[in-house]
A and B are shown apart, each in its own frame.
Chain A
Amino acid sequence: MKLKEVDLPGIGKKFSLLTSHNERIDVIIHINGKREMFIFEDADDDEPDADVILNEEEANQLGSILMGVYFKPETEKAKELILKNLVIEWVEVDKDSPLANHTLKELEIRKRTGTTVIAILRGKDFIINPSPTEVIKEGDTLVVVGSKEQIENFKKEFKVKD
């Protein structure tokens, strides 16, 4: 891998990434915040084979996906390690819980605590992979997944009694 940085006066900065497959990705960050990405199938090509324009938000999103924020492929060994640290917690929502009567989206659970709600137990129903717009109700039981620390965060943040 090789990274090159060049000033483009009046436009912004160009970053060229030469990959191990001899392909090239050029990222241009414009002075006004616009990002442009150009893909050269052969690093020595004069003209790009594809290009994308991103605004700042989209660029950040793409960047975090590439960094593996949402999904990180691990080797088998690492997986075992993760499993050892993985905690699944069942949380009951009582009447005065800050969780009650809010959607998952509003609560920003992942952002605030790092944990994920993988299921909601509501009476006889079992909602697996609830959508972000799902409203949590009094009496629900949430199935929360995360590391030990993250689960602790969750309990603190939403005032869950042990």
Chain B
Amino acid sequence: MAEHSYSFLLLFGAICVTLFFLGYIAKIIRFPSIVFFVLAGILLGGFISGEHTLERISELGIVLLFFYLGLEFKIERALQVAKKIWLVGLLDILLNFALIILLMKLLNFDLFTAFLIAGLSYASSSAITTKIIVDNKRVANPETELILGLMVFEDIFSPLILAILSSFAVTKTLSLKVIVIILIKVLAVFAIFTAITFLVRDKLAKLIDSILEEDIFVLFTLGLVILAAGITKKIGLSEALGAFLAGVLIAECGKEKEIEKYLLPIKDLAVALFFMIFGASIAIGKIKIDERLISILIVLIAFSIVGKFLTGFIGGLLYGLSKRSAAIAGFSIINRGEFSVVMTKFAPSTLLPLAGVYVLTMSLLGTIFAQYAPTLARLIFPRKKKKKKRKISYT
């Protein structure tokens, strides 16, 4: 036993240091760290196969990822955003989710797999997009409001897709009855959640204030989140939904700032491990990628790029943006990242290589598209010559 725990510490330490170095390289060359974490998993795959402790810790990755999305989410504010964005949000679902289901059905996949692949291709990576917008000082640009609004829309739709997928993963067949049951469950969870929120909001805020400085605070918050995640998982609606709602509950108390600080290190660790374990699972699969899968991958990537661009572009025009700004919006949201990795939890091992290559390709290509979005948009819609007193160049 003693020997075993020693080697675990060694492994865990070595993995953290490796992830740190790769993350550091990512920072220097300004690429999303998710790519490097997944690559680390692929490289280290052999060393960590069968390390259940690491896998367990990495499960917290999904939970905390969705908890943090929930923290950013206030019901009232979300409704305001939704008023302006719902049309673009629907277009997004249509082009990047519904259309992909249809496409995969046409390619002779069963409904579950089609649904899974559509989940893979649905959401852009809000981490990648937001970071590039801030780093490139595009925060004040007109398309930014639309892009961030759409990210919020995807944040709430993604846990729903996960909830459906996780019920679906058990039954594997889709009938009207199954859909109705899932919907009833989701509605019940939302109703209970809303009731809890309004009942305990003020008391919870007071409680948080009184234990904020105590050493037991982390136990309270982490306990609340993981328990909520555990409950929704137990009733077959995936841990993401519970974690997300726990985040919303905290945000509704107005205590999101305080809690954000406390769990951030745990979240960063768990998410990094989660991406790495995903990478490792691809290597463990060791399944030959056959030609059919490659051609499906290429079709999927093509649809993913065009679908998201059109979402941003048409959505942008509907939103009242200029053609150029709409095109910038389109190019900025092509990337995929953390959400796609989360969806792979339900993927059968035969599909994991496809999912892995897809996520890596889309996060890299998407980063490049987002980085050069203004330049690309200007190529398509040249700007009118205008006398300028000062000029800023974008790189």
**Min CB gap B39→A, angstroms:** 26
Binds B, one of A41-49, A66-74, A117-125, A135-143: A41-49
Is the CB of A155 closer than 8 A to any CB of chain B? no
One of B149, B374, B390 near A9 (C-beta < 8 A): B149
B-facing residues in A33-84 (Cβ within 8 Å): 36, 38, 40-41, 46-51
Nearest A residue to B142, CB-CB = A46
* Distance (whole angstroms) from the CB of B245 to the closest CB of chain A: 17
- Report Cα–Cα, A36/B238, bound state, in Å: 39
Name, among A7, A26, A50, the residue most crowded by chain B CB atoms within 10 Å (CB to CB): A7
Whether B151 pairs with A9 at a CB distance below 8 angstroms is yes
A99 within 8 A of B: no
B151 touching A26 by the CB < 8 A rule? no
Please indicate the chain A residues that have their CB under 8 angstroms from the CB of B324 in the complex. Answer: 46
A11 B392 Cβ-Cβ under 8 A = no
Q: Are B137 and A7 in touch, CB under 8 angstroms?
A: no
A10 & B139 in contact (Cβ 8 Å cutoff):
no
Interface mask (B167-180 → A, CB under 8 Å = 1, otherwise 0):
00000000000000
Per the bound structure, the CA–CA distance linking A57 and B67 in Å amounts to 32
Q: Which residue of B lies closest to A52 (CB)?
A: B137
- B128 to chain A minimum Cβ distance, whole angstroms, is 12
Contact A11 B134 (CB under 8 A): yes
Q: A47-B392, A49-B392 are in contact. Are A9 and B81 (CB under 8 A)?
A: yes
A1 proximal to B (CB < 8 A): no
Interface bits B240-282 vs A (CB < 8 Å: 1, else 0): 0000000000000000010000000000000000000000000
Chain B residues in 8 Å Cβ range of A127? none
What residues of B have a CB within 8 angstroms of the CB of A6 in the complex? 145
How many Å from the CB of B161 to the closest CB on chain A? 19
Neighbouring B residues of A30 by C-beta, 8 Å: 134
Q: What's the nearest-Cβ distance from chain A to residue B163, in Å?
A: 22
A26 to B140, CA, bound (A): 6
Interface status of B49 (Cβ within 8 A of chain A): no
B72 interface residue (CB < 8 Å to A): yes
Residue in B closest to A53 when the chains form the complex, CB atoms: B137
With contacts A7-B81, A8-B144, A28-B139 taken as known, whether A49 is within 8 angstroms of B389 at the C-beta atoms is yes
Query: With A10-B126, A10-B151 given, is the CB distance from A50 to B392 under 8 Å?
Result: yes
A29 to chain B, nearest CB (A): 11
A95-B316 Cα distance, complex, nearest whole Å: 73
Residues of B within 8 A of A48 (CB): 137, 140-141, 392
Distance A30 CA – B392 CA, assembled complex (angstroms): 22
Q: How far is the CA of A41 from the CA of B390 in the complex (A)?
A: 9
If the complex has contacts A8-B139, A8-B145, are A49 and B390 also in contact, measured as CB distance less than 8 A?
yes
Partner of B374, one of A31, A47, A51: A47
The residues of B that contact A41 with a CB separation of less than 8 Å are 388-390
> Quick check: B72 and A9 within 8 Å, CB to CB?
yes
- Would you call A51 and B388 a contact (CB within 8 A)? no
- Could you name 23 residue pairs across A and B whose Cβ atoms are closer than 8 Å? A7-B80, A8-B148, A10-B72, A11-B133, A11-B148, A14-B145, A26-B140, A36-B140, A38-B137, A38-B140, A40-B140, A46-B141, A46-B322, A46-B325, A47-B374, A47-B392, A48-B137, A48-B140, A49-B388, A49-B390, A49-B391, A51-B137, A51-B392
User: Known contacts A40-B140, A49-B390; can you find 9 more A-B pairs with CB under 8 A?
Assistant: A9-B148, A9-B149, A10-B72, A10-B126, A11-B130, A36-B139, A47-B374, A49-B388, A50-B392
